[in-house]
C-alpha cells in the first residue's frame, strides 16, 4: 500500500477529531481556542486529543514505527 501511515490514520478519523488534532499540533492553537471555535467544552477537546493520539500510537506501534 502506497498510503503513508499518518495519512492512513488521518483518513480513518472523524472530521472533528482531525480538525482538533491539526489545530492543536500543527497550528499550536490552545485548548480554549479550539473549544470555542467548535462550540465544545475544553474537556471534550482534551478527550478528542487523547483518543486521537492513542489511535495514532497504536497504529504506529502495529506498523513497527514506534
Which of helix, strand or coil describes residue 61? helix
Quote the Cα angle for 20-27-12, to 5°.
Answer: 40
Say whether pTM exceeds 0.75. Answer: yes
Q: In this predicted structure, what is the pLDDT of residue 40?
A: 98
Cα distance between residue 24 and residue 32, in whole Å: 10
Q: What is the pLDDT of residues 9-59, one digit of tens each?
A: 778 889 999 999 999 999 999 999 999 999 999 999 999 999 999 988 988
Are the C-beta atoms of residues 44 and 35 closer than 8 Å to each other?
yes
Q: What is the CA radius of gyration of the chain?
A: 13
C-alpha cell at 34: 479550539
Between residues 1 and 9, the one the model is more confident about:
9
Amino acid at each position: 500500500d502506497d498510503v503513508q501511515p499518518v495519512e492512513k490514520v488521518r483518513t480513518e478519523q472523524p472530521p472533528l477529531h482531525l480538525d482538533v488534532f491539526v489545530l492543536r499540533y500543527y497550528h499550536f492553537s490552545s485548548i480554549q481556542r479550539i473549544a470555542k471555535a467548535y462550540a465544545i467544552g475544553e474537556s471534550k477537546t482534551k478527550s478528542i486529543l487523547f483518543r486521537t493520539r492513542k489511535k495514532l500510537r497504536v497504529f504506529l506501534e502495529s506498523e513497527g514505527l514506534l
